[in-house]
Structure 1
Amino acid sequence: MAQGTIRYWAAAKDAAGRAEEPFEATTLAELTEKMARGRDELAKVIKRSSFLINGAPVGKRAHDSVILDDGATVEVLPPFAGG
Structure 2
Amino acid sequence: MRPHGTIRYWAAAKAAAGRAEETYAAGTLDDLLEQVRRKYEGNATLLSVLKRSSFLVNSTPVGALPHGEIVLEPGWTVEVLPPFAGG
- What TM-score do the two structures reach when normalised by structure 1? 0.95
Residue aligned with 1:70, SS: coil
**Partner Cα separation in structure 1 for residue 18 and residue 8 of structure 2:** 11
- Residue identity matched to 1:65: E
CA-based RMSD = 0.9
- Residue identity matched to 1:46: L
List runs of 5+ in structure 1 lacking aligned partners: none
Match of 1:76 among 77, 80, 83: 80
Residue aligned with 1:13, SS: helix
- What TM-score do the two structures reach when normalised by structure 2? 0.90
Q: Among all aligned residue pairs of Structure 1 and Structure 2, give the percentage whose two residues are the same amino acid.
A: 59
Count residues in correspondence: 83
- Residue identity matched to 1:22: T
Residue aligned with 1:5, SS: strand
